[in-house]
Amino acid sequence: MINKTEPKKIMSAHDFARLGEGKVAYIRSMTSDQFHAAFPDVEALPAGLNLWALLNADGAPIVIGDSREALIANAWEHELQPVSVH
């Protein structure tokens, strides 16, 4: 029987960001402008490029490139399970 008065266990934002760390890498299509807006500390890229980003479980960039297949291969090479982000 489920007790409806018991509080639900909620994962902290920190723990959620680390979920899959070292095991999962997220692949996301983005423009160089979107990439620079999300990661302003990364050296500027030419504007208007279509690229792919391989992101750590916490959303930090691992590598960027112009080929989804190359990033999938990079993930496998580093023993990371690639998953797509839409």
DSSP codes, 61-77: EEEEES-HHHHHHHHHH
DSSP class of residue 21 equals T
CB 11, CB 19: distance < 8 Å: yes
Residue 24 — pLDDT band, cuts 50, 70, 90?
Answer: confident
The tokens of 2 are what? 């489920």
| pLDDT, tens only, 26-84 | 999 999 999 999 988 888 789 999 999 999 888 889 999 999 999 999 999 989 988 88
Predicted confidence (pLDDT) at residue 17 exceeds the cutoff of 90: no
DSSP class of residue 31 equals E
pTM above 0.75, yes or no: no
CB 18, CB 57: distance < 8 Å: yes
Q: What is the pLDDT of residue 70?
A: 94
Q: What is the pLDDT of residue 58?
A: 81
